[in-house]
Amino acid sequence: MEFILDVSCQSEEARMGLTAALANRVEAFVKSRFELDRGYCCKRRTSKPFQERPHLLGHHVLVQKGFLWGFEIRILPDDFQVRRIKVSLLPQPRVNEAVLIASLVPGLLAGLAGAILTVQQSRSDTVRNVMLAFFLCFFGVAGILFGIAWLISKMLIKSFTDPSKDQCEREALWRELLPVLNEKQA
């Protein structure tokens, strides 16, 4: 689900703070709708969608409960002049984070082991051989483990959740969120 907010009619100075202001409203709505004392975990992260404009930030509001339920609301400038702001709602259960960590850590260890073995076995320990061994081992092991863990997480989510119920819940949340997105800026 995606929403595009056109803010091109406002001055350039005013547009620069709109993404953060919109993220503040969305975060306040999410925290009032999903209370912490009912077991929900709310987080907010920032990103830099345009590397050449490090002062322009995108905002990600995450809400999760348990291991298999969660979503993320992304609030990102559509271009570096912030003429439009794109808001999207995506499923983001905590198991997705666990899958990434479960594959990267052993991959990193395998890469280090490959680099160490290359240094020990090689007669000429060129940097190229060591780096090649590290990245091949890292990406090979991490890729295989990520694929396996991703399949397991999808099976877990499919087995223990009702996809149609989750979709209906996201659509209801989106309908509640639209008035917050359409509010006039103060």
Instruction: Give the pLDDT confidence of 143-185 residue by residue, as tens digits.
Output: 888 888 888 877 877 777 777 777 888 888 888 888 888 876 5
Residues with Cβ < 8 Å from 10, sequence gap 6 or more? 18, 185
Predicted pLDDT of residue 186: 45
- Those residues of the chain that have pLDDT short of 70 are 122-125, 184-186
Under a CB-based contact definition with an 8 Å cutoff, are residues 113 and 137 in contact?
yes
pTM value surpassing 0.85: no
Tokens of 155: 């099976």
Cβ atoms of 110 and 141 within 8 Å: the answer is yes
Which CATH fold would you assign to the domain 2-93+162-182?
TATA-Binding Protein (3.30.310)
Tally of CB atoms within 10 A around 74: 21
What pLDDT shows up at residue 60? 93
User: Which ranges in the chain are annotated with CATH 3.30.310?
Assistant: 2-93+162-182
Q: What pLDDT is recorded for position 45?
A: 92
Task: Measure the CA–CA gap between 87 and 89, rounded to whole angstroms.
Answer: 7
pLDDT at 24: 92
Please report the pLDDT score of residue 162 as a whole number: 76
